[in-house]
Amino acid sequence: MLTSLVWKLLGSFSALFLTGMLFGNIPLLCSSLIPLIALVFSLHFEEPHEIRVERIENKISAWINDTVEIKTKIEANQGIGIITVADTLPEHFELKEGNNFHVFWKGFSKFSETLNYKVKCTKRGIYHIGPVHVESRHFSGLHQTRINEYPMAAELVVRPRPLGVKRIRDPKIQSKVPMPIAAVTKLGMLTTDFREIRHYCWGDPYRLINWKATARLTSNPSSPPFVNDFEREGKRIVWMFLDASPYMRTGTTTENAFEYAVQAVLGLTQFYLARNCYVALYVYNDDERLLLPDCGRRQEYKVLKEILTVEPKTKAHHESLEIAVEKCQGHVKGSNPYFIIITMVRKDNIQELLNGVRRLRKISRIARGKPQILIIHVSGYCIAARGLYERAAAIMLEIKNNQLIRLLRRSGAHVIPWNPKRQRFTHLLLVGLTQR
């Protein structure tokens, strides 16, 4: 398709030519030839075509906040003019080096260039980079610009970094919190995984006594000797309930309460799965996303895959914790699993949480043993706070939340408030430890 600019050159020619004809004027007639010849010559050179675009890598996997290099090869065989190449980047991506929009000149020779740039993956998820938009422009704008879209989407999987959860190996401290170590069943075969050094208890095999540690650590001759304790082959079940309510979006799009909650879920999943536990995940307020209890690397992969696509809702979804528990109770009944609820405790959802905890206690009562419920309260206000005044306001809001947390504790759950800006997740799980 020709553009209206053709008429500009043609207009100059016509004006000179017709005036020249009218007056029989040779200089005017000769002058009229210049715009005409310019038009003919310009139209003779077409804009670049026969363009080939090739992605160097089609699938890239990265951790969150990693920088990834994206390479695209462009070739053009025919035409003369300008080629612009634009790679569509997903939202939340930060351009670190290079540019995803490039301009090239295609001369008489064959054109071949590699477009490369680096992006920082600021948010977890499965993204598609592309399609590649290629524009070929006529050098003088006489032809319409050709816009081609090459659907060469490269898949980029951005995995969240799981928060490291470590075991406590000090024999002098004991956890009040239902810690994962204590969660492992006491029955089962001993493995070769070292757990801790503890005092000798009645029934422990003599071969497990650590004489060196006993000599070094015991000051009182009447105190029992120390023994090496090893992990047992236990198949305890851990149920994790992740809240995907709109208030979990508190913070920025890349740094909010939900993002930290996701990291906590992944860290805990890895921790429990490494200790042969069954892990189940339920994302409530998010269209019933349920992963049934399973163990091993496959479950870890499944949790990761599921968590990559989870986003907190923008509108309130009426699925309370109680409803979520009701939906899972068929899988829970008869066992005494750990329940870990990761949420943001607020005045709006306190009743829902209390009902949920009550429901969990009820279904756990059927099985023997005391129900163990852990609520991790992600402090969203502290995440969102910027500056001194906002931080002070966030602390005040958190103080206001303390009475809600007390209510939850009274209902039988153990609540850990977590400010990701100040506390590391590993340190967080040490809260409530006492000297033996």
Residues 305-364 that bind other proteins (CB under 8 A): none
Residue 1 CB, nearest approach to other proteins (Å)? 6
Compare residues 154 and 394 and give the one whose CB is closer to other proteins: 394
Considering only 65, 77, 78, 84, the residue that binds other proteins (CB under 8 A) is 84
Site string for other proteins, 13-32 (x = CB under 8 A): ---xxx--xxxxxxxx-xxx
Tell whether residue 384 is a contact of other proteins (CB under 8 A). yes
Task: Report the distance separating Cα 325 and Cα 250, nearest Å.
Answer: 25
b/e sequence 2-13, b meaning 16+ C-beta within 10 Å: eeeebeebeebb
Let me know: does 35 contact 5? Beta carbons within 8 Å. no
Considering only 67, 88, 144, 309, the residue that binds other proteins (CB under 8 A) is 144
- CB hemisphere CA count around 2 (13 angstroms): 13
Tell whether residue 294 is a contact of other proteins (CB under 8 A). no
Task: Report the distance separating Cα 199 and Cα 214, nearest Å.
Answer: 9
Tell whether residue 101 is a contact of other proteins (CB under 8 A). yes
Compare residues 77 and 254 and give the one whose CB is closer to other proteins: 254
Task: Report the distance separating Cα 256 and Cα 275, nearest Å.
Answer: 30
Q: Which of 383, 325, 335 is nearest to 359 (CA)?
A: 325
Q: Helix H segments across 148-283?
A: 180-183, 211-217, 257-274
Residues 240-279 that bind other proteins (CB under 8 A): 249-256
Site string for other proteins, 44-83 (x = CB under 8 A): --xx--------------------------------x-x-
Tell whether residue 396 is a contact of other proteins (CB under 8 A). no
Residue 39 CB, nearest approach to other proteins (Å)? 8
Task: Give the interface size with other proteins as a residue count (CB under 8 A).
Answer: 76
Which secondary structure element, helix H or strand E, spans residue 100, and what is its range?
none
Task: Report the distance separating Cα 174 and Cα 170, nearest Å.
Answer: 8
Stretch that binds other proteins, among 156-164, 351-359, 377-385, 401-409 (CB under 8 A): 377-385
**Residue 198, token pair as written in the block:** 């503890």
Residues 6+ apart with CB under 8 A from 31: 16, 20
Site string for other proteins, 103-142 (x = CB under 8 A): xxx-x--------------x--------------x-xxx-
